[in-house]
Amino acid sequence: MIDIFLISSSAERAPQIVARLQQSGVAYRLRSARGTARQLRTHARAIRSADLLIVEDSELNARDLDGVEEVLACTPALHCMLVTAEPSTALLGAALRVGVRHVFAWPFDADEIALALAQIEVRKNPPGRRAGRVVSLASSKGGSGTTLIAVNLAYSLATLNNRRVLLIDLSQQFADASLLMADRPPPTTLADLCSQIDRLDAELFESCVMRVHANLDVLAGAGDPLKAAELQPAQLERILALVRERYDAVLIDVGQSLNPLTILALDRSDMICMVVRQSPLYLHGGRRMLDIFRELGYPASKVRVVVNQYDKSAPINLPTLEQTLGARVAHQLPRDDQQASEALSRGVPLVTSAHDSILAQGISLLADMLWPAFAGSRKGVFGRLFATQTTLPPRLKPGH
Ligand SMILES: Nc1ncnc2c1ncn2[C@@H]1O[C@H](COP(=O)(O)OP(=O)(O)O)[C@@H](O)[C@H]1O
Ligand SMILES: [Mg+2]
């Protein structure tokens, strides 16, 4: 099923385009509006949730493509088709430059559009394509760094690995993930989406997420523990089924609570990253949490223990920690107060603001561990270094 948004300047041609869509034999859902390429901005929200934008504009010329360029830049997975009377060479060149792959002269034949739709459908649902990989981040106690790590993993995957990423803030207290990513409050939250769950579809979902980067959306937390307590596991189940199809990576900031809602998230996760610190309180809770994971039937391979703010000279060293937890430590992240607080005060994730810091690099390596299929696809200097297997350690070794 592909989602199509059609904007057409002509009351006469619009139904003829729809007839050709129907003849194509490809399953689609259509929303349409009357207008020209210059009026695309008015429909930005609906276009964001589509797979294909068809712009039929008989007067279209190269200068009218600003709006098209804007929507394609904000929605990299969107395909765009232009339909116009007689496309000039200048228009064809400009269309290619802004990322449009299909420009049809009106009247086009039904086979041309059928072929284009079939290609878009295959790209959307390639045979054997894995659904988006879901990873939850949990900890037994506040202040472990779960949110900082979740936010920076999300940015790392979206910007350095160029994946479509969703971060769901399921923490039950005051839901702060969006604060670390944007300088504006989230317009809607997970609680708003759950309250309208009976009409959940791509459009409603798009209207409830906050886009913080071209590839990265955030579904903000309920923001208040009372509202969070009303969320139902069945509602989250439906949301997860939808988002798995729409994103390459889904991160859930589970926070510290274990309850039916967060347990549903953990059940549905491909992997759980449990964050601990080297203090008796974190270890006590961490041990209990791992016991509960075992009781829930999760195999040890589903859980990765990460030590945050790792201090090689702390009295609780790695062997003690592993012995107490009864689990191997998969990764350590160093303490970096300066970069953590600078990133927080600037509202910029530190994988961006301090991308060459050891903490940022450690988070990118953690992303490779949690989403191994994306490892090696990282952009930029660090990605190239990693891709050519230089001396960067896969994790900070004990004692470093
Ligand atoms: N590796 C780190 N180095 C320095 N400060 C950190 C690090 N990880 C987290 N912090 C800081 O610790 C505090 C708690 O982090 P947060 O992500 O909110 O924890 P949680 O979500 O587990 O409650 C924040 O001020 C954050 O900036
Ligand atoms: Mg948190």
Where are the domains positioned within the chain?
2-124, 133-387
- State in Å: Cα 15 to ligand 2 middle: 51
Atom of ligand 1 nearest to the CA of 171: 21
SS3 content of the chain, % helix, strand, coil (to 5): 50, 20, 35
Whole-number Å distance between alpha carbons of 53 and 71: 10
169 in ligand 1 pocket by Cβ < 6 Å?
Answer: no
Going by alpha carbons, the residue nearest to atom 2 of ligand 1 is 335
Query: Which segment of 64-78, 191-205, 238-252, 309-323 scores lowest on mean pLDDT?
Result: 64-78
Say if residue 6's pLDDT is above 60: yes
398 in ligand 1 pocket by Cβ < 6 Å?
Answer: no
Query: Which pLDDT score is estimated for 74?
Result: 80
Identify which of 19-23, 207-211, 384-388, 392-396 has the greatest average pLDDT: 207-211
Going by alpha carbons, the residue nearest to atom 15 of ligand 1 is 145
- Whether the full predicted model's pTM is greater than 0.85, yes or no, is no
Ligand 1 test: best mutation among 148, 179, 342, 346, most atoms within 8 Å of CB? Answer: 148
Give the pLDDT band of residue 362 (cuts 50, 70, 90): very high
Say if residue 152's pLDDT is above 90: yes
Query: Which pLDDT score is estimated for 129?
Result: 53
Cβ distance 255 to 204 under 8 Å?
no
Tell me which of 3.40.50.300, 3.30.70.3280, 3.40.50.2300, 3.40.630.30 is the CATH number of domain 2-124: 3.40.50.2300
Give the pLDDT band of residue 114 (cuts 50, 70, 90): confident
Whole-number Å distance between alpha carbons of 10 and 33: 10
**Domain 133-387, classified CATH 3.30.70.141, yes or no:** no
Give the pLDDT band of residue 127 (cuts 50, 70, 90): low
Say if residue 148's pLDDT is above 90: yes
Closest listed residue to residue 6, CA positions, set 60, 66, 80: 80
Average pLDDT, the chain: 86
Cβ distance 73 to 97 under 8 Å?
no
Work out the average pLDDT over 125-133.
64
- State in Å: Cα 28 to ligand 1 middle: 45
User: Matching CATH topology for 2-124 and 133-387?
Assistant: yes
Neighbour count for residue 311 (Cβ, 10 Å)? 14
- State in Å: Cα 276 to ligand 2 middle: 13
Query: Which pLDDT score is estimated for 295?
Result: 92
